[in-house]
Structure 1
């Protein structure tokens, strides 16, 4: 039968063995808890969330800048139009005279624009203007500056009086004012006008009226 000291030694040895075996297992559990793998997983998820989650998107929109207004430059005066200011003209005096003709012609100055017409409600070409003014006194003229000039006789400037025609062959025609100027419908973009002097070498035509 083992002695008391032997029993004590056996008990102590068994306790040491149990402690030796239990401590590593316990320590292993503690180490696992300290490492906190779940915490690591949480951090990974948080990092992933930071990378993948974006701010809410807005509805798309576009800013349209106002386009500059480009005014096309005309290639010639033929494309320029003026506003017709005609509102009615007093009829000419019944009796024809150079002064009456000039007074009637002057009413269209700055009112009717140049064009291809022969009416104050539309436009006046140079020959359309003379045709309309003379028609107010019952004098019929054809269209065309050359055709109108052929209805009269050529005179010198010294003999010319108000109401005679001022004529540039193949180019232009107007009504002499008796003082070195004329009334005429000049060119595109302009109105019937009175000029105080003449250019070049025009002819003076007296109609047979």
Structure 2
């Protein structure tokens, strides 16, 4: 072994060991960090969904509005359209949408969750859907005024609340 090999070999060994150690740390990162990264991605997706919905504020409500039409919406065509624009495919009706994703309690709502309600004529069954926008607000369309924000804590929406689903990973 010549002088260069004798001097450089320990540095190469230390460098390789350091690189492997760092790689090991990256591979064995604790699960909470991974969960936090997933939550940040979900929040980013939620913000994108809400931003898409905001583009349609004031768009008129029309019961039975067809899928893909943006000149009018009903509640479920609105959520279907907004989520589809963000890569999440939902069925057409609010009752079908309530079967997607997984259950979220009202106390654990996060931006982007779908929230479901009954209406006067639905007999206590799901008949309306909106997007939880955070801070106790829902983004939805219903009746006069079309697409708008409402307070989940208002007497009417609070008393007609049924469930929520998280469809953002």
Q: Which protein shows a greater Rg?
A: 1
Aligned to 1:206: 166
Question: After the TM superposition, which parts of structure 1 deviate over 4 Å for at least 4 consecutive aligned residues?
Answer: none
Q: Return the alpha-carbon distance in structure 1 between the equivalents of residues 48 and 57 of structure 2.
A: 15
TM-score where L is the length of structure 2: 0.60
The answer on 1:170 being equivalent to 2:118 is no
Contact preservation (8 Å) 1:105, 1:133 = yes
Matched positions, count: 113
Aligned to 1:101: 49
Instruction: Considering Cα pairs closer than 8 Å and 6+ residues apart, tell me whether 1 or 2 has the greater RCO.
Output: 2
Greater share of helix:
2
Aligned to 2:86: 137
In structure 2, the gaps of 5 or more residues are 1-42, 118-124
58, 61, 72: which one aligns with 1:114 = 61
TM-score where L is the length of structure 1: 0.50
Q: Residues 143-163 of structure 1: CA distance to partner in whole angstroms, max 9, x if unpaired?
A: 110101101221112211110
Q: Return the alpha-carbon distance in structure 1 between the equivalents of residues 46 and 98 of structure 2.
A: 17
Q: Return the alpha-carbon distance in structure 1 between the equivalents of residues 80 and 164 of structure 2.
A: 16
Aligned to 2:4: none
Q: Return the alpha-carbon distance in structure 1 between the equivalents of residues 166 and 126 of structure 2.
A: 18
148, 154, 165: which one aligns with 2:103 = 154
In structure 1, the gaps of 5 or more residues are 1-94
Question: RMSD over aligned Cα, in angstroms?
Answer: 2.0
Contact preservation (8 Å) 1:96, 1:137 = no
Matching of residues 49-88 of structure 1 within 5 Å = none
Matching of residues 17-56 of structure 1 within 5 Å = none
